[in-house]
Structures are given as C-alpha cells and as structure tokens.
Amino acid sequence: MTELAPNTLPTSTQPNWKTQIKATSVAVFAATAPAQALDLNTLPLGDPHLNSVPRTAAEQNRINAVTLPTQDFEAAEPFEENSAGAGTVRARSDDEAFSQHSANISFEQELEFKLGNGLFKKIWVFSPASTKASDGLGPLYNARSCQRCHVKDGRGHTPRSPEDSAGSMFLRLSIPGDVPAEMAAVHDYIGTAPDPNYGTQLQDLSPPNIASEYKFSATYQDVEVALSGSETVTLRDPSYAALNLGYGPLHADAMLSPRVAPPMIGLGLLEAIPVSDILAQADADDANGDGISGRANLVWSAEFDQVMLGRFGLKAGQPTIHQQSAGAFSGDMGISTPLLPDPWGECTSTQTDCRNAPHGNDDVRGTEIDQPNMDLVTFYSRNLGVPARRDLDDPQVLHGKQVFYDTGCTSCHTPKFVTHRLPDRPEQSFQLIWPYSDLLLHDMGEGLADNRPEGRATGREWRTPPLWGVGLTQQVSDQAGFLHDGRARTLLEAVLWHGGEAQTARDTVVELAPDDRAALIRFLESL
C-alpha cells in the first residue's frame, strides 16, 4: 500500500520497495538468529528507574487484581475516569486539552513545567544571531520548534495541499547495515545504517544558501470499504515521494518510512511502567493461540549505556523520554544536545556546506541546548497531563466498551497498568493508569507496512499506540489524522486499516451491526 512514487530514485536504480525490505529483513534475520527463541529474561535489560522501590507480595496481589480485564459492562470500573491516576487533568473543551500539567505536580514544579513549555515552543533561528540562547537551527531541518510538529502537544498532520511543506510529517530513512556490537546479544535485531548522502531522515527546510534535502509529496487514492447495514467508508490509500533531491540519489537500497508526530500526553507514566509488566504481555510465539504475538523492541540507550526496552516512537525505537527528545532536537531541528552534540544535527559527511555552516555550540552553553534546559524539556514532556474520561457511564459508551473487549481489541490495547514506586518522581509513582496500550510491537499487515525495520521491529510491525485522549485529538487540532502517517481522518478509518494480527478484529468490526459499531466509536471518543 504505502509505496514511494517511482521518481524517488533514478530510473536505473528503482527498487521494488516491498520486495526489497522483505528480502533484506529475511537475510539479516537468517544471518543473526540462532535456532532457539530469544529469552528476554536472560538479557540484562536496563530500566529507566534504577531507584524504584520493589513491590511487596501484597502489593503485587493487589495490582494483579485491579489490572484484570473487566467482565462487567453495566457500569464504569472504579477509578476509570482518572486515566492517569492522580495526575489526571480536567477535560477541557478547547484546543488546550493536551497542554495542561499533571494534576499532582507540586507548586514549585509548575515553574519547571512552564519553563519547559517555553523551550518546547521556542522558535529557533540560524547562527550567527544576536539571540544567542535561540540560535543553532539546522542548517537542515523539518521544523523550527517542537510545537510546530506536536501541534498543541497533540498529533501532527499531513500536508494540507500538494504545494504545502511537510509541516509535522517527514520521511525516516535507512539502508541495510550490520548489527552493532552492543546489540549482538539480541539475535533478531535488524541491522541498519544511515543513507550515505541523507542520513536517518529527510529534512525539507534549509537557509537560503544551503540546499534542502527534498520536497515531500503525498498523494491519495480513494478506496471504498463496504460495511454491514449498507454502510460504506472511504479510506485514503497513500503514496509518498521524495522529490527534488538536493544531494544526489538516495542509496539503491534506501528504505523510507512516513511519520506524523504523535501526541505528547502521559509520556512520564508510560516511562514509569515496570519493564517486567510490559514483558509479561509479550507472546512472540503466540503460545496462547489467540493470533496475537506482541514483541518487545530492544534498543541501545546512549543515556544509560546499555540495552533497554524501547517504549517511545512509532516503532518503540527509543528507551526514554530524554533520549527521544534529544533525537528530535538533532533530527528535526539540527539542535545539538549533550547526548547528541554534533552542531549540524544529522548532516552527513557529504553535506559539506551544512557541516561548515555557522553553529551555536560555544564555550558558554556548550551545546546549542545545554543539559539544564534539556532537563526542563524532559520534565515538561514527562508531565503533560492526560484528560479525564468523559461520559463513561453513558449506556452507549458502556456498550461500546463491551464491543471493544469482545472484538479482541484489548489483546494489544491493554487497558491498565500500575506504575513503579518512585521516590524521586512522586507524580508518576504507584499510579493506576489506563493507557490502552501494551507498548509492544505487532504485525499490522501489508496495508500499514512501511517496509523499514527499526531495532527488532520489522517492516510490518508497529508499537501499539496509547489510546488515552484519542477522542480529543481533533478538538486539539482539527487537521490531525490517525495512524503513523495520518492517513486516517476518523477513528473508524483507523480501525479499518488494521491488518495482520488485528485482521480478525477489523473484520469483526466490519460485520458488526451498525448500532454496535457506532457504540464502539463512541467508546473510543470517550477515552
């Protein structure tokens, strides 16, 4: 489905994108995978919360009881309104619904949050500039601020017209490569490398004297889907192209993946879920025979210098909020951080004008954004509040919740977790939360395949996106879409794109009585 347009590469080097990535993935797996299955329990996986307090046996029993899937759909469950536990915020009716701080941070922490918010909204400028605290942009970049992609702290959107810039959407990029030595113990890790000319993502913006990397192009073909009850839905089947390449052809084996910025709410709580609780949901070999085989992505943490569970990003390619933020500063804006200190962002060695351009690294700040300010951005990202549920006692919502469970959606969209006990982060400590995600990788079928691996994730696998707040998505930004590339304009469209492990659930939704299907969407809108 999501194939790149033919003019992405010179005619003589045009690959078949789907065939190519499948062959690459199989070759890499065959070369690195031993006969036995990967035992996650034998790997020394790091946890971002090294000082968490172990649970007592009594606490674990309580947690096991409270996180069991409900079988009662006559009324809301206890505490179900509070999606983020004590951090849950009031559900606003305007576009600021995702921009509130967690309800349980201290008065002193509110100042940290506001300072982090200022940095998240900061408009960066090119070097040299008189505003030394804001210079260092690019030279190649996708956006001038974090908020330009994560619109109002929510989802990004597809280009509004063929002439529009990519805005909050870009193409991630890699070629087949070797498995890094530090990941050798993870036998099904798929080796990749940056494109020699273009790096790890394509940037469509640049200063006047430096060529941008490309022009993003997205086109759509309508696909009609018939539903029970004589209803139909029109899906948008996308095609993407990298036009006007500024630095020569892409590598012949280049693999590209379209990405729209995901929402920012609740990230600190996702980071606070114990590794063991996430791994307990994994079933790579489908031992229980339900057709669902969630797998954990394992990635390298530059922050902790060890293998860690991937939680963040559309394929769970980042282990912590701090590393995810540093990667976005570097890749999206060309802003250096202590974790990723190159002042030219991810410009390659062939992009000499970019590397030789003025930058904002200096003896005072060090990198273009220093560690104290990175800590503020991380704190802000960690503490964006999740809005409370709405209408959860409504009969139609309760019926839709039962449909959600009965169709098997909870096999991936795990409703509840309890977070670590965290002495240093009481706002995320020991909270019953309702993210509706297992944070694992699932094969979503050919229709959603980007055919580009990331860590252990194959070209058909995606991390289960959290659903909390999903019903307020288009209230926050009326241009926002759903799925990894924003192709779905409605929640029902998003459901109908599900395939692979979710094919049975998707087909069940197609065959539902119209009232049942409407109730399901009404439930999702209440999250």
Give CA–CA dist 24/32, Å, rounded.
12
Domain count, the chain: 1
Mean of all residue pLDDT scores within the chain = 90
Helix 371-382 and helix 107-121, axial crossing angle in degrees, nearest 10: 110
Cα–Cα nearest to 270, from 202, 206, 320, 226: 320
pTM exceeds 0.75 for this model: yes
Helices first, then strands: H and E counts in the chain:
14, 11
Specify if 258 maps to a domain.
yes
Phi, psi of 178 (to 5 degrees): -80, 155
Whether 416 is covered by a domain: the verdict is no
Alpha carbon distance 426, 515 (integer Å) = 43
Q: What are the pLDDT tens digits along the chain (527 aa)? A: 433 433 332 222 233 323 222 333 333 322 333 333 456 665 666 677 667 899 999 999 999 999 999 999 999 999 999 999 999 999 999 999 999 999 999 999 999 999 999 999 999 999 998 887 899 999 999 999 999 999 999 999 998 776 676 778 999 999 999 999 999 999 899 999 999 999 999 999 999 999 999 999 999 999 999 999 999 999 999 999 999 999 999 999 999 999 999 999 999 999 999 999 999 999 998 888 889 999 999 999 999 999 999 999 999 999 999 999 999 999 999 999 999 999 999 999 999 999 999 999 998 889 999 999 999 999 999 999 999 999 999 999 999 999 999 999 999 999 999 999 999 999 999 999 999 999 999 999 999 999 999 999 999 999 999 999 999 999 999 999 999 999 999 999 999 999 999 999 999 999 999 999 999 999 999 99
Is 470 within a domain? no
- Residue 90, Cβ neighbours under 10 Å: how many? 11
* DSSP state string for 438-485: ---EEE--GGG-----BTTB-TTEEEPPP-TTGGGHHHH-TT--BSTT
Rg (CA), the chain: 22
Contact 262, 314 (CB under 8 A): yes
Which two three-digit tokens encode residue 212? 């941008």
Contacts of 191 (CB under 8 A, 6+ apart): 28, 32, 176, 177, 178, 179, 180
**Does residue 139 have a cis bond before it (omega within 30 degrees)?**
yes
What are the φ/ψ torsions at residue 383 (nearest 5 degrees)?
A: -120, 25
* Domain membership flag for residue 274: yes
Position 14 in a domain = yes
CA-to-CA dists, residue 211 to 137, 138, 154, 160, 202, angstroms: 15, 12, 30, 23, 12
Task: Give domain status of residue 403, yes or no.
Answer: no
Do 295 and 279 contact (CB within 8 A), yes or no? Answer: no
Q: Provide the residue range defining the domain that includes 200.
A: 6-52+98-300+314-390+421-428
User: For every residue of 116-181, which 3-state class applies, written as one string?
Assistant: HHHHHHCCCECCCCCCHHHECCCCCECCCCHHHHCHHHCCCCCCCCCCCCCCCEEEEEEEECCCCH
Q: Is residue 513 part of a domain?
A: no
Instruction: Say how far apart CA 410 and CA 71 lie, in whole Å.
Output: 12
Q: Is residue 74 a part of any domain in this protein?
A: no
**pLDDT tens digits, 292-341:** 999 999 999 999 999 999 999 999 999 999 999 999 999 999 999 999 99
